Each structure stands twice: as C-alpha cells, then as structure tokens.
Amino acid sequence: MNTKPNILLIYTGGTIGMIKDSETGALQNFNFDELLKFIPELNLLECNIASHSFLKPIDSSNMNPTFWVEIGTIIEDNYNIYDGFVVLHGSDTMSYTASALSFMLENLTKPVIFTGSQLPIGDLRTDAKENLITSIQIASLHKDNKPVITEVGLYFEYKLYRANRTTKVNAEHFEAFDSLNYPPLIISGVNLSVHFPVLLKPNWNKKLVVHKNFESNILLVKMFPGINEEAINYLFSYPNLKGLVLETYGSGNLTNKTWFLKAIKKITNKNIPVINVTQCFGGSVDMSIYNTNKEYRTIGIISGKDITTEAAITKLMLMLGQNVSAKDFKIKFETSLRGEMK
Ligand code: ASP
C-alpha cells in the first residue's frame, strides 16, 4: 500500500469508552471525539483514523439485532472509503455482535476488528490502550497491497481471534475471551505474528452483500439434570417459536426420557429447526457416539458440530430471516458459512 490506510473506528459503547466522574466515581461515557486526548499515541500510528459514534452509546447488555444492523449499515455505507474497521463494543455481548456481523457481511474483503476492554480508557491500569492501538494496527496490516485480515476478528489481550469462534470466559482477567475450537489468527508480541494458514481466504472479485434480516422468535435452552417437564412444555408451546438452540451435554447428548423426546418431536414436526450445541467450550457435537441419542438422530435435529452458542444463535436468527426452506435448512446450517464450524 503506497498511501496510509484509512481506518474507521465505530464506537458502540461499553467500558472502553468510559471515564470516572471525578465527583461521584461512577463510570460514564466520554465524548468519543476526545479520544486523542486520552490516547495521544494514536497520532503515531501509520494510518488515518476517523471515528463514528453511536448517538447514545450503550452497555452491551442492551445490544440487539437492530444495533447489529446499525453497525452493518455503517460498514456498508463506508466500505469504499475506508480500508479497515475497528468496532469498539462492551465485552459482555461482544462475541454475539461480532458473530452476527460475520454472518451479515458476505464477501468481506476488508478487516472488521472488534475490541473493548475490562477497565475504562481513563483508568491508570487500563487494558483499553493496548487493545485499541493493536486493533487499529491489525486493521491497517497489508501484504502485497491487499489487507491481511479479510474477516470479522475479535482482538483482546494480545490475541486476534476469528470472532465467530469466541466466547467471553472471564469477567475479571484481562484475558476475557477464548476460542477453544480454533487457533488465534494473530498473536501480538514484540511483533505481530500472523498465522496465515488459518485466515479466511476471500474472493476479491465478489461484491460485499450485507444481510439485515434477523428472526428473534427463537429460544436457547440449556440442559441440566432435573430439567422440568412442565416448564419445557410451557416454553416449547410458545406460539411464535421459529427456532430452538439446545445446549446439550458433552458430545451432544440429551436425556432419552420419553417426555423430552416427545416435546422435541412436537417442534421438529412443525419444521422448526432445533440446533444441538454442546455446553462444553471445546470439542464437538457427535450424536452417533451414545445410544441414548438413537431416537434423536431420526427426527432431524441439526448438529451444531463445534460451533459456539453465540455463533449458533446469530446464524439461526440470520438464516431464519433469509427464509431458507425447511428442506435445505439442516444442510445449510451444518455447512460452514464464515469459518464458524469445521
Ligand atoms: N458491561 C460492559 C459492556 O459489556 C462491560 C464491558 O464493556 O466490558 O458493555
């Protein structure tokens, strides 16, 4: 690249953009245009930085598909102007938003890097500066005049992950995220060490398509010993139910009690997709291993393989929003769209 890359920072909210009120000590959002005041080091980076802030920055516990679409639309509207995008987001639901964006942005050929922090940017011990500076550097990386990262990534505490492979695993440590089923794309040490073989390879000739329809009439149910029949029947009879993600045990195992099988059959008989995702952070669903799963194999349950719950939920919402036919749903869901499953 002969000229400096242009990077757009999109600030949605979260701890990273907060400072302590000097009188009350409570955290409050600061004016994002004053970013350079807090991180003057940004002036030293080899890129041009512009920023776009949500009108009202939010705590990420208030994230929802309407905001996902807002982020996607900002990227779409600015796609030809900028070489890379860094999205600043609260860490609590960052893996959901970043997974959703990975599915929304089809034929992405530019970096979209999510980051945030555990401590506010104004805090002496903040992790925000390193996370932000390195995310911008990663979004600026080029090789042979082309961006190195052409997917949605999540950068936190010295590692860039494929976003749709991540989960928030720690509310205390700076290393808040992990990706147990896929290796980091970049490790930041003295140098940025890029693991080229694990990066998504784009098709440079295809145009970006941004999918914006999400169906939110879905449920996520986590199995636990003693799960109650009446409660399940009540939940599963929700008249508007369009999809279900089941967090099952180990390699995708479910109780073979007749009442539970019947409850699931009632849903699959209505052509409502049921996705089997493991509660374990690492490893994969394989329903062929145990005999208890025998009956479930015949009723069309969809295997989430080694997908995260965050990616399963957002992929399901997006595919339901695209009106994929019941006949094709299983095959399509079980096929990797953006490297989210094996
Ligand atoms: N509650 C905050 C949020 O997710 C935490 C953070 O920013 O890390 O918005």
**Residues 321-334: tens digit of each pLDDT:** 998 999 999 999 99
d(CA 335, CA 281): 20
Together in a domain, 290 and 158: no
**Residues 207-244: tens digit of each pLDDT:** 999 999 999 999 999 999 999 999 999 999 999 999 99
Helices (H), 143-246: 229-236
CA distances from 315 to 236, 249, 337, 338 (A): 20, 21, 9, 10
From 16, 29, 61, the mutation candidate for ligand 1 (largest count of ligand atoms within 8 A of CB) is: 61
d(CA 171, CA 17): 17
Please give the single-letter amino acid code of residue 120.
P
Together in a domain, 195 and 319: no
Domain finish residue from 150, 181, 210: 210
pLDDT confidence band for 205 (50 / 70 / 90) = very high
Together in a domain, 185 and 235: no
Q: What is the CATH number of the domain that holds 40?
A: 3.40.50.1170
Together in a domain, 308 and 198: no
**Residues 66-94: tens digit of each pLDDT:** 999 999 999 999 999 999 999 999 999 99
Q: Which residues line ligand 1 (CB under 6 A)?
A: 13-15, 59-61, 90-92, 116
Together in a domain, 228 and 176: no
Whether 292 is catalytic is no
**Which atom of ligand 1 is least distant from the CA of 60?**
9
**Which atom of ligand 1 is least distant from the CA of 16?**
7
The answer to whether 303 and 201 are in contact (CB under 8 A) is no
Together in a domain, 305 and 191: no
* Ligand 1 mean position, distance from CA 155 (Å): 15
Task: For residue 339, tell me if it sits in a domain.
Answer: no
Task: For residue 1, tell me if it sits in a domain.
Answer: no
pTM reported for the whole predicted model:
0.96
Together in a domain, 28 and 133: yes
Together in a domain, 157 and 238: no
Task: For residue 98, tell me if it sits in a domain.
Answer: yes
From 16, 30, 60, the mutation candidate for ligand 1 (largest count of ligand atoms within 8 A of CB) is: 60
Among protein residues, the one with the nearest Cα to ligand 1's atom 3 is 90
Catalytic residue among 15, 166, 248, 278: 15
Together in a domain, 192 and 298: no
Q: Which of 312, 250, 235 is nearest to 287 (CA)?
A: 250
Task: For residue 340, tell me if it sits in a domain.
Answer: no
Together in a domain, 51 and 26: yes
* Ligand 1 mean position, distance from CA 154 (Å): 15
DSSP-derived secondary structure letter, 208: P
Q: Which domain holds residue 322?
A: 218-333
Domain finish residue from 210, 232, 252: 210
Spatial neighbors of 106 by CB under 8 A, at least 6 apart, are 208, 209, 210, 211
* Ligand 1 mean position, distance from CA 60 (Å): 6
Q: What is the CATH number of the domain that holds 288?
A: 3.40.50.40
Task: For residue 49, tell me if it sits in a domain.
Answer: yes
Number of domains making up the chain: 2
Task: For residue 225, tell me if it sits in a domain.
Answer: yes
User: In this predicted structure, what is the pLDDT of residue 1?
Assistant: 65
User: In this predicted structure, what is the pLDDT of residue 278?
Assistant: 97
Together in a domain, 160 and 226: no
Task: For residue 328, tell me if it sits in a domain.
Answer: yes
Task: For residue 338, tell me if it sits in a domain.
Answer: no
d(CA 38, CA 25): 18
Q: Which residue has the higher pLDDT, 116 or 34?
A: 116
Please say if the pLDDT value at position 186 is more than 90.
Answer: yes
* Ligand 1 mean position, distance from CA 92 (Å): 5
d(CA 50, CA 275): 40
Domain finish residue from 159, 193, 210: 210
